[in-house]
Structure 1
Amino acid sequence: MEQKQQKQAAVEAGASTQTQTQVDEELDIDDNMKHCFDNLIVIDVGANLTNKKYSRDLDSVVQRARDAGVQKLMVHGTSVKSSKEALRLSRIYPDIIYSTAGIHPHDSKSIVEEPTTWFDFEHIAQATECVALGPCGLDYQRDFSEPEVQKQIFVKQLQLAIRLNKPLLIHERSAQNDLLEILDKFENLPPVIVRGFMGTAEEALKYLERRFYISLTGYLCKDKSDSGVRKLLENGSLHLDRLLVETDAPFMYPNTRASKLPQHVKTGITERSLLYLHRYCTFQRNEPCSLPAIVEMIAAFMKKTPDEVALATAFNALKLFGLS
């Protein structure tokens, strides 16, 4: 019953399951095999399409994503400038692209250095097309902004998310204790999504205990530890009702040829997904059309069908961010 509701919600949001004829011809898919390549219904909750790597062919990138089955894209803002650009893209591609407004921890010092830009940021965050605040949070792996500055700007964005009642996208690297200490001080938090999770299963459980959501990327191919993301999926700790998926394009290319990737995961990726991945995506420039391959890998690790993972994650995104 739940799966039927998820599929219905995705279909009502414009997520067609029909194979794109034009793409089938381009990829030279035989008519007799088309039934084996029906698109998954997927939503990319994190693509950095404001990146200059897409400046020349963004229309093609968006169309390829749609043809691959990515029905909606959330373009992240990580500074005042990129948040404004993400909002602009959401208006150029209505009902396909949705924007977020965030000050990444690395960019936190820019608000301190130019405090008047915060008012521009607030204005962007209030737009209807802006469906979430973030990515924001703490990152102690690099020192682009001092930890105390990161905390200050994170709290400001957290307060804004509460005031606007918009979901909060969290970026965290090597800073979980400080981040949770801040979050635990606030009541009536909006939905919290820990995006692009790369930590340990133990760290993930601390988020899940607080009913946070976790989004996963092609990092699955890089995770070689016995206590990381793969374990989280294999032992059933991360349930489908708390899972989202993203490409983090142009980053986090899902290297399906990685030697440490289990064979049952490699064979779980369909030929159609591999065609999009290998034809259009590289280590230098990942694209949203790689998302179906990521979903299929997640499904293989979880021992579920790709349809289950695709529908559940699409349903979660539609519900969380109010995508129409």
Structure 2
Amino acid sequence: MKNCIDIGINLTNRQFHNDIESIIQNALDNEVSQMILTGTSVKGSEEALRIAKEYPSILYSTAGIHPHDAKSRDNQSIAKLRKLLENKQVVAVGECGLDFDRDFSPRDQQEACYKAQLELAIEIQKPLFLHERAAFTRFMVITKAYLPQLPKAVVHCFTGTLQEAKTYLDNGFYLGFTGAISDVKRFAHLQEVVNYVPLDRLLIETDAPFMLPKNVPNANLVKYHERRNEPAFLPYVAQSIATYKGLSLEEIALETTKSTKDFFGI
């Protein structure tokens, strides 16, 4: 298989502590040639860049405040993100958006934090790495006000409806898909969504350590970490897409890699 790129891994998550070197090597051994570390808070974004700098041309990172962490934003947060985004290895603003499913931060704080990051992306013209859960209508109302000026944007870990996917695509967004697409019980509708999304607007990710693909063989799971996803499993996401679209794994790897490099400028 051709090499592929994981657009979203949470390598700063505690599930990967003391394990980072082997996780990256395992990914490389499984033809995942590059990975983008997701920043979900100011502190987490700083840590993601620190790790990325240890693996130049292999790891990149994003800088942002996840809606779960919106309540942690203070009057220095955006300035700190801006400083991080000056680094060439920091390739996107985010993860940012709205999450009305968990509501770990008050919704008004989520919205204010999201707007501030949309404005930051417009200012520095780096792509957006977006999160939306159970907040589609409000998310689109806010985002549309900025659309004419926005750089490229990807709604990562997409699990929404076909109509939501169409709306995102019609507004110029890319969609990122995880191992959720292999969960035919919980996310059966995603087969239709994947079939609809043009290949040049589709990106692949693991969202590791979350969203473990259902089609990973048990023999590949690490003892004591049977539910932990990792970037080495990205080919299983690509395989599900290949199966749904009736294409070869090589075609999916080639096209998503090209799209990812164009999108993030790597």
**Interval containing the TM-score (normalised by the shorter chain):** over 0.9
Map 1:129-168 → 2, pairs under 5 A: 129-168=89-128
Larger radius of gyration: 1
Structure 1: distance between partners of 2:11 and 2:57: 16
Report the Cα offset of residue 158 of structure 1.
0.5
- Please identify runs of 4+ aligned residues in structure 1 that moved more than 6 A: none
Equivalent of 2:175, from 207, 210, 214?
A: 214
Q: Contact 2:181/2:188 (CA < 8 Å) preserved in 1? A: no
| 1:106 match: secondary structure | helix
Matching residue of 2:158: 197
Matching residue of 2:230: 287
Structure 1: distance between partners of 2:227 and 2:104: 23
Equivalent of 2:21, from 38, 42, 59?
A: 59
Paired AA for residue 50 in structure 1? T
Map 1:1-324 → 2, pairs under 5 A: 39-111=1-73, 114-186=74-146, 187-224=148-185, 228-233=189-194, 236-256=195-215, 274=217, 277-278=220-221, 282-323=225-266
| 1:132 match: secondary structure | strand
Structure 2: distance between partners of 1:100 and 1:250: 17
Matching residue of 1:267: none
Report the Cα offset of residue 141 of structure 1.
0.4
Which deviates more, 244-253 or 280-289? 280-289
Classify 1:128/1:122 alpha carbon distance in 2 versus 1 (closer, same or farther; 3 Å). same
Output the TM-score relative to the length of structure 1. 0.78
In the alignment of these two chains, the number of paired residues is 265
Report the Cα offset of residue 226 of structure 1.
8.1
Report the Cα offset of residue 40 of structure 1.
3.0
* Root-mean-square deviation (Å): 1.8
Where does the alignment leave 5 or more consecutive residues of structure 1 unmatched?
1-38, 258-273
Structure 1: distance between partners of 2:76 and 2:249: 47
Q: Contact 2:37/2:60 (CA < 8 Å) preserved in 1? A: yes
- Give aligned-pair identity as a percent: 40
